[in-house]
Structure formats: structure tokens, C-alpha cells
Amino acid sequence: MVARVQPDRKQLPLVLLRLLCLLPTGLPVRSVDFNRGTDNITVRQGDTAILRCVVEDKNSKVAWLNRSGIIFAGHDKWSLDPRVELEKRHSLEYSLRIQKVDVYDEGSYTCSVQTQHEPKTSQVYLIVQVPPKISNISSDVTVNEGSNVTLVCMANGRPEPVITWRHLTPTGREFEGEEEYLEILGITREQSGKYECKAANEVSSADVKQVKVTVNYPPTITESKSNEATTGRKASLKCEASAVPAPDFEWYRDDTRINSANGLEIKSTEGQSSLTVTNVTEEHYGNYTCVAANNLGVTNASLVLFKRVLPTIPHPIQEIGTTVHFKQKGPGSVRGINGSISLAVPLWLLAASLLCLLSKC
């Protein structure tokens, strides 16, 4: 921040004399520069600002002032701020350079010129733009399904940042106009996941942060698979459930809990469980119950291990027939050794032929 140096008491008369000669009465005064109104200069935080001031006569007495006081009087620096210097590219220039501009530098600056005829002033208003920065955001949160959730995202910047929320799902739904607060009433399991807060203005790229929302809900059986097997074979029953926190699984047979022993093996991972019978016997067939539970609830599903009966292969049907000998004269007839035609006719076909003759079919 620009500060004023207190002159030594011995130099006070000289300083007062200089100011009386240099500065017009009633500074700062809004007037034209010379015949021009107040100019605005916009600089991003951290950049260098150049406030231009050009005089008509190199013998003119010039000073820079701001709301805090005198910065330069002629070539004498009154400010203790090391970031502030004069910039003189030629003899008529009396510009002010401020390095690493910050928000407290914003405001009105006056270049005052004492000419031979009359005092003139030129005013410049320095606007400091600040990139958006998220200063406060909700921590990750865990709630039960059906609860109300409020997420908070605060940001600083100049101009004031615009804040938007987005649920990071494949659809990427945005919540327009929610600003700093995002309220979710009666949250569902589908609304769990990461939420992104974005603070944006035209100064630089947006600042983005995320909040993870975990929604707890009781177990729901999503799939249960019965099975069938022959004796002596291996068979498995499978059960899947959806829940947060992940469910614990138990298996029962006739209200008796089953453990991994005596040819039975239970394997459970997050969200699914299986019961395997390594060597199926007659006593293994029947109903089983898969139970899934967490601290919010419990559910179950019934599964059945069926007995598979292999189909029996029937014996080949033996064909019983007889041989009929008859004589046929005429061309194209085939005769046996004794001159007769020999045909092998199945017995059922012979019976069918007789029935057909009797019924005149």
C-alpha cells in the first residue's frame, strides 16, 4: 500500500514551500487532462500497472497523489512502497509504474501539473481484477438415504465469480443458479457421488473443487441363482445385494446357519456371496436362504438346489418280420432261384395291409 513519509522537521519549511509552488488549491480536483475526464485502467492482480501522465513543458512541476497522500513530488519519492517508481521514456513523460498490483492499490490516482499559467490535473482510476479462488467448500459428507443435504462453496474474485454446481455423472447435470449453496432434498442413492463446484469470472480460468457425497441405504437383493446338480457333482448357489455400507452375508438351511465346513464353502466379497457344495449328496438337495444385512436393514432371498435326473437311454427296438413268397409273371419281375419273387415284409406292415383289405381302404 502506498504510504506517506513524514519529512524531517528541519526540512519542513522547504517541503511546504515546494508544495505551495507545485500543488493547486483543493487537490485532488477532477478536471480534464488536459481537457479529458477520468480514465480507467484495468490490471490483473500481480501484473504491472502504468499510469500515464505527459506534460507540455519539461519545466513544469509535477506530482502524483492518491487517496492516501503524495506519492511523488517532482522527482522526490514520498512513498515507502518499493513497488512504485516513475517511468520516464522521454523528458515530457511523468508516468507512474506500480509493480505486482494488489487489490489495495485500487482507486483514484491524480497527476497534478503546475504550469506557468494555471494548475492542471489528470485522474486515472485503477481497477484491479482478481482471478476466481474458492476459499471455502464443504467437506466430504455421508448421509442416510432420504436426508436433506446442503453443500457450500464460497469464492473470492473481482469481478465477483459466478458459481455453478455439477453432479459428476455420465449425464453431467448442472444445477444452474444455485450459487454458493446447493440443496438436495430427500437425497436418493442415485444422487451419491462427486459434486463439482466451479467459480468463474473473465479474468482467468475457473477454479474447481469437488465434494464427495456418500448415501447410505439398506440392502436390496439384486440377483439370486438357484441351481441343479447330480449326486457326486459340485454345485454353487449365488446371491448378490446392493447396499451402502456393503452388506454382510449369511447362509441358512432350515433356520440353521451354515458355515464353511463338511464339504460346504462360503465365499463373500463386496456385494455378492456364494455357497458351494463340493460333493453333492441326497441330503444337500432342498431350500437355502441367503441373508444380506448392514446397519440400516436386512433382507433375504430363498434359493433351491435341485436334483438333476439324467435321462435313461432306451434299448434298440428289434424288428420282427416274415418272408412272403409269391409268383409274378410279366416284364420287370425279379425271380429267385426257384423262379419266385422273394420279399422281406415286416410283420406289422403285413398286418396293416390285411386290415386295409378288410376295411376296403
Residues of the chain with CATH 2.60.40.10: 9-129, 138-217, 226-307
How far is the C-alpha of 35 from the C-alpha of 27, rounded, in Å? Answer: 17
Higher-confidence position of 352 and 16: 352
**23-72 pLDDT, tens per residue?**
443 333 333 344 455 689 999 999 999 999 988 877 788 999 998 899 99
Distance in angstroms (rounded) separating the CA atoms of residues 105 and 127: 8
In this predicted structure, what is the pLDDT of residue 22? Answer: 45
Q: What does the alpha-carbon distance between residue 94 and residue 72 come to, in Å, rounded to a whole number?
A: 10
Confidence band, pLDDT 50/70/90 cuts, at residue 175: low
pLDDT at 169 over 50: yes
φ, ψ at 135 (rounded to 5°)? -95, -25
User: What confidence category does residue 353 fall into, taking pLDDT thresholds of 50, 70 and 90?
Assistant: low
Q: What does the mean pLDDT of the chain come to?
A: 81
**pLDDT for 269:** 92
d(CA 161, CA 29): 34
Mean pLDDT within 106-115: 90
pLDDT of residue 282: 92
Give the mean model confidence (pLDDT) for residues 203-228: 95
Determine what percent of the chain is predicted with pLDDT higher than 90.
60
More confidently predicted of 269 and 10: 269
Between 6 and 165, name the one with better pLDDT: 165
Q: How does pLDDT run across 323-349, given as a tens digit for each residue?
A: 544 454 444 444 444 444 444 455 556
Q: Which pLDDT belongs to residue 28?
A: 36
Instruction: Name the CATH architecture for the domain at 9-129.
Output: Sandwich (2.60)
- Domain 138-217 in CATH 2.60.40.10: yes
Percentages of the chain per state (helix, strand, coil), in multiples of 5: 10, 50, 40
What pLDDT shows up at residue 304? 96
Burial of 209 (0-12, 13-18, 19+ CB in 10 A): middle
Which residue type, as a one-letter code, is found at position 5?
A: V
pLDDT in tens, 282-302: 999 999 999 999 999 999 999
Determine the pLDDT at residue 116: 73
The residue type at 41 = I
Nearest-CA neighbor of 91 among 51, 65, 50, 54?
54
At 219, the pLDDT band (50, 70, 90 cuts) reads very high
In degrees and rounded to multiples of 5, residue 139 shows phi and psi of -75, 165
Q: Higher model confidence: residue 235 or residue 89?
A: 235
In CATH, the number for domain 226-307 is 2.60.40.10
Residue % of the chain over a pLDDT of 70: 74
Segment 178-182 shows an average pLDDT of: 83
The reply to whether omega before 314 is within 30° of 0 (cis) is: no
For residues 121 and 110, what is the distance between their CA atoms, to the nearest angstrom? 7
